[in-house]
Amino acid sequence: MPEYSAKSVAALMRRDVVTVGPGESVLEADRLMRLGRIRHLPVVENGLLVGVLSHRDVVEVSIAKLEEVAPEERIEHLRRTPIERLLRDHRPRTVEAECSLREAALTMLRLKIGCLPVVKPGPEGLQLIGILTESDLLRAAYVPDFAEASD
């Protein structure tokens, strides 16, 4: 098997990233995740990364409402809830494209996270240029010819 740990994140990151804005609804994010079969949505505002919404975040807000109300009301709640309400108080952990895959993998393992947005720092903030997921790392290490869906 090829030695990937010394390569940079740029070698594996996905450049065509589905994103959402912080004002979009959780219902729309859920729809995008299901349609795209993805588990992480970078949240971007004015071209800058402001957070990451995970499938787990969507499930948690859905389950919380599920216990309280009928299914129709739950859907309406998700439609009215903006993504920004689910974002954590701090900026998401990120990497730059030059970071080694080994360091990126160690970061993901230490923090128990499933993805790292790949950013380019700028004067206004962090510009999203890609994403690296645990699936990308597994695919590269064990089944580099696997071409099916992402994340």
Structure-token pair, residue 87: 């974002």
For residue 48, what are the β-bridge partners? 45, 127
The whole-angstrom separation of Cα 33 and Cα 23 is 17
Contacts of residues 135-140 at CB distance under 8 Å and 24 or more positions apart, as own/partner, are 136/12, 136/13, 136/14, 137/4, 137/12, 137/101, 137/104, 137/105, 137/108, 140/2, 140/4, 140/12, 140/101
Q: What is the pLDDT of residue 64?
A: 64
Q: Say which range, 17-31, 39-53, 54-68, 106-120, has the weakest mean pLDDT.
A: 54-68
- For the beta carbon of residue 123, count every other beta carbon within 10 angstroms: 4
Give pLDDT tens digits for 60-106: 887 765 666 777 787 888 889 899 988 875 679 999 999 999 999 99
Q: What is the pLDDT of residue 105?
A: 94
Q: In the chain, what are the domains?
A: 9-142 (3.10.580.10)
Reported pTM = 0.84
What integer is the mean pLDDT of 15-37? Answer: 94
- For the beta carbon of residue 134, count every other beta carbon within 10 angstroms: 17
